[in-house]
Structure formats: structure tokens, C-alpha cells
Amino acid sequence: MAHKIILDTDPGIDDAMAIFFAFQSKDIEVLGLTTVFGNVPADMAAKNALILCDLAEQHHVPVTKGVARPWVGPESEYAHFVHGDDGFGNTYPEASKRALDPRSSAQFIVDMARAHPGEITLVAVGPLGNLALALRLEPELPKLIKGVSIMGGAAFVPGNVTPVAEANIWNDAHAADIVFSADWDVHMFGLDVTYDISFPPTFVDVLEEKNPVLGGFVQKAAQFYMDFYSQGREDRVCFFHDAFPIAHLIDPSLFGFTEGHMRVATDPLNKGQTALAPEGSTASPDWLNARKVKVATQVDHPKLTELFIDTYAR
């Protein structure tokens, strides 16, 4: 039976790769794309999600617009230097003519959870404002959700925005604190695993060969993305962070996890830090009172790469 998911996203080049991966998988049923600010502004994220649905001929999949700024503090700065002015590596694909679902992303999450209690996994690959707001709209949401899979954080490795913080969590640390503190089953796929495997330029060439439309889009958009990730390196590489939690749903054996109590820092200096106390490592009530999460710390590189390629080839 396919996993029902809501994919909460800020497209984004690696978001595009992940969304197509989910659409192509026979083991995933995408109930909707809920969009959020992050890589790009909220309006652009929603429009980009519609474009991706059109390219994949997934015209039935609802797309919603979500929160446009962090839970606390000023409007975010965006990662156009990573993803291009259009979010797609300055490839400027044709805009969709389809309308957004009129609901907010948070309301859509709540409505779907009520309609499919215990069946949906929330796969969040951007800042976590939509999930935090959904928890405010429906305090019983954790009882209605099967699980939460998050691309974000850095438990045992440095961050990519500050020495301690990964971008998705740093962009909306207060929202992340709300989400990680809720009483639901959380799997975190952070830089501990997503930076553990780099993809060479030939990877996106193979995706294009296997799937000229979807893989071809990723191949073209990823050139700008690879320019960013290859700065200061002798080899040319890219990282497809956002597909990891979807890969875990398809094949859990690909990952190893460390379970422990998670704290998300919200103070200015450490904002966005995801600090983990592995189970049995502390007796401090301040840590033991924090919710437990499962943090991905190991990944099978060859099998993950094979899964991506085989799924695009369907």
C-alpha cells in the first residue's frame, strides 16, 4: 500500500528533484503540495509547485500557499544565490495556468488529517511554519498524523548557515521548536546524511537519460545549483537534500538512526541549532523533558543513488 503524504515544500531545485521523485514512486501517494517561504518567497514557492505539477502531469494534486515569513522576526532573506532568481536555476519555465487551492497550507494539512486520520505522513522539506500553524489550528493534530519526516537540522555536524544551524531550521527556528516539541513521531534527515553523499554531474545526466521530461528539467536547473555547491572544490558536485525523507518511506533499510531528546535553539547566537541528547546520554531534566526524535546518521550511498535513478526511470 502506498504511503499517503503531504509534501510541505519551498521549490527550489532540490525540492523539484524530490517532488518528481515522489510523483514517480509507486510507493508514494501525494495528497497535496503545501508551500512555504524558504528558498524563495511564498508567492514564488506556490507558483513553482504548480509548474512542477504541470510538468509531471499531476494536475489533480492540490497546491496551497503557506506562511510567508518566520514565526518570530522579520521577513526572511531568500536563497536565490543557490536556486536562481526563479528558484529553478534561471531556467524560467512556463507559468502554470492552474489555480491554487484556496485554503492556506496549514488549513489544508488539518483538513486532510481529519479526512484520513492516522494515514498521512507529513514530509516537510522547507521551513516549518505551516506545520507549526497547523498545530495551532488543530491541537489534536499529532493524534491524526501517522508521522512527520523533516529534511532539516544538523545534529552531529556543522550547519550550513551558521556554525550550528541548517537553513530550513534557521529560517524559522521558533516554528521548528513548536514542531519538534509536539507529541508525534518525528524522523529528521539533516546534514548528517544529506551532506554525507554528494552527486557528480553525471547523476543528473543519467536522470535526464532515464526521464527526458522530469529528469531533463532537473538536469538543466541543477547546473546553477552545482555552480554554487562546487565553489572552492576541485570536483563539480550537487546535493539533493530534500529527497532523503521520501527515500526512507520507500525503503527504510537505507538509513540508520540515532534516537534522542531534541532541543531547537531560538536565541540569536544559536538560532536554529538542533541539539540532540542521544538516549541514555544525560540525566538532566531539561533534556529528558524534551521530545524524542529519530535522527538519520547513516545512509547507504549506492542503494540510495540506485533508488533515485530507478524511480525516475519508471
Q: Where are the domains of the chain?
A: 3-312
What is the per-residue pLDDT for 1?
77
* Residue-by-residue pLDDT tens, the chain, 314 positions: 799 999 999 999 999 999 999 999 999 999 999 999 999 999 999 999 999 999 999 999 999 999 999 999 998 889 999 999 999 999 999 999 999 999 999 999 999 999 999 999 999 999 999 999 999 999 999 999 999 999 999 999 999 999 999 999 999 999 999 999 999 999 999 999 999 999 999 999 999 999 999 999 999 999 999 999 999 898 999 999 999 999 999 999 999 999 999 999 999 999 999 999 999 999 899 899 999 999 999 999 999 999 999 999 99
pLDDT at 260: 97
- Strand-pair category, 120-124 with 3-9: parallel
The predicted model scores a pTM of: 0.97
Superfamily for the 3-312 domain: Ribonucleoside hydrolase-like (3.90.245.10)
Give how far Cα 292 sits from Cα of 126, 153, 288, Å.
21, 15, 9
| Cα distance between residue 297 and residue 53, in whole Å | 32
Catalytically annotated residue among 3, 8, 10, 248: 10
Q: What is the pLDDT of residue 104?
A: 98
pLDDT at 11: 98
The one catalytic residue in 241, 242, 248, 261 is 241
Q: Kindly state the DSSP code that residue 38 receives in the 8-state scheme.
A: S
Decide: 24 and 211 in contact? Cβ < 8 Å.
yes
Residue with C-alpha cell 524530490?
A: 18
Calpha distance 282→192 (Å, rounded): 21
Cα distance between residue 190 and residue 157, in whole Å: 9
pLDDT at 123: 98
User: Residue 283 has what pLDDT?
Assistant: 87
Exposed (0-12), middle (13-18) or buried (19+): which is 106, by Cβ within 10 Å? buried
**Would residue 241 show up in a list of annotated catalytic residues for this protein?**
yes
